[in-house]
Amino acid sequence: MKAAIVVFPGSNRDADVARALRLAGAEVSTVWHTETELPAGTDLAVLPGGFSYGDYLRCGAIAGRAHAMDAVRAHAARGGLVLGICNGFQILCESGLLPGVLMRNVNRRFICHRQTLRVERTDTAFTRAYAQHQVIDVCVAHGEGNYFADPETLARIEGEGRVAFRYCDEAGQLTVKANRNGSLNSIAGIYSEARNVLGLMPHPENFVEGLVGGTDGRGLFESLAKAA
């Protein structure tokens, strides 16, 4: 598995996602936002978390139009795997690779806390290491994580089984209390139509070692390492 992490001015989770991918056995390189090509043989393009371009205009709005995103769009169109985490999810929506938008959190504040998620399907390149409806313990840290889509788009995403993760409580229940940014249908992450692109707001890369946080995030990177 060859992964290329696209780094923008303001990205701050690239080193963490690189460590998580290397722990899973992937070969990792980084691509500066001004590049117009991904390294030859790239299987997975990764858009990491952070505050690209200072979150000016909207989170991900400027990065979604960066030169490197042309290469990411071409990679996705060829069926290549793309993973966007937090700011990376916002960039995927701003670049048109995923539907919907990430609005300001419902409390209009930056939230940063442990978060349990329910794994909605396990037949994708990103989640094969998990069990159906497994509850995993990771974290969130964002100001604009409130997923929204118009009713027709939301019905299509749900109807096509494109919700990857939902915010839930420790028992796997989709409660209002567990959905602290106010996302529609407790959506924490979604797939593209072909399910080769995944965007999610939580940070699985923080949870790959028991000494610091836990290991529930490993499944995503182990699934990906075996996907190519």
Ligand X SMILES: NC(=O)CC[C@H](N)C(=O)O
Q: How many residues bind ligand X (CB under 6 A)?
A: 12
49 binds ligand X (CB under 6 A): yes
Question: Among this protein's residues, is 168 annotated catalytic?
Answer: no
Nearer to ligand X, 4 or 62 (CB): 62
Is 205 labeled as catalytic in the residue annotation? yes
Nearer to ligand X, 43 or 116 (CB): 116
Positions in 146-205 near ligand X (CB under 6 A):
none
**C-alpha distances in Å from residue 17, one per residue of 58, 86, 87, 191:** 23, 12, 13, 19
Smallest separation (angstroms) from ligand X to the CB of 224: 19
Please identify which residue in 43, 144, 216, 222 interacts with ligand X, judged by CB under 6 A: 144
Which residue of the set 59, 86, 93, 168 is catalytic? Answer: 86
86 catalytically annotated: yes
Task: Please check whether residue 125 is in contact with residue 158, taking contact to mean a CB–CB distance below 8 angstroms.
Answer: no
55-94 binders of ligand X (CB under 6 A) = 55, 59, 86-87
* Nearest to ligand X of 43, 87 (CB atom): 87
The string of DSSP letters for 95-154 reads TTSS-SEEE--TTSS-EEEEEEEEE--SSSTTTTTSPTT-EEEEEEEESS-EEE--HHHH
Please tell me whether residue 142 binds ligand X under the rule CB under 6 A: yes
Q: What is the CA radius of gyration of the chain?
A: 16
Shortest distance, CB of residue 71 to ligand X, whole angstroms?
21
Q: Are 5 and 31 in contact (CB under 8 A)?
A: yes
Q: Which is nearer to ligand X, 121 or 203 (CB)?
A: 203
Span of 29-37, 138-146, 175-183, 192-200 interacting with ligand X by CB under 6 A: 138-146
Q: Does 143 bind ligand X (CB under 6 A)?
A: yes
Question: Between residues 99 and 202, which has the closer beta carbon with respect to ligand X?
Answer: 202
Q: Does 51 bind ligand X (CB under 6 A)?
A: yes
The residue annotated as part of the active site, out of 33, 75, 142, 203, is 203
β-bridge partners, 3: 28, 44
Q: Does 50 bind ligand X (CB under 6 A)?
A: yes
Q: What are the residues binding ligand X (CB under 6 A)? A: 49-51, 55, 59, 86-87, 141-145
List the catalytic residues.
Answer: 86, 203, 205
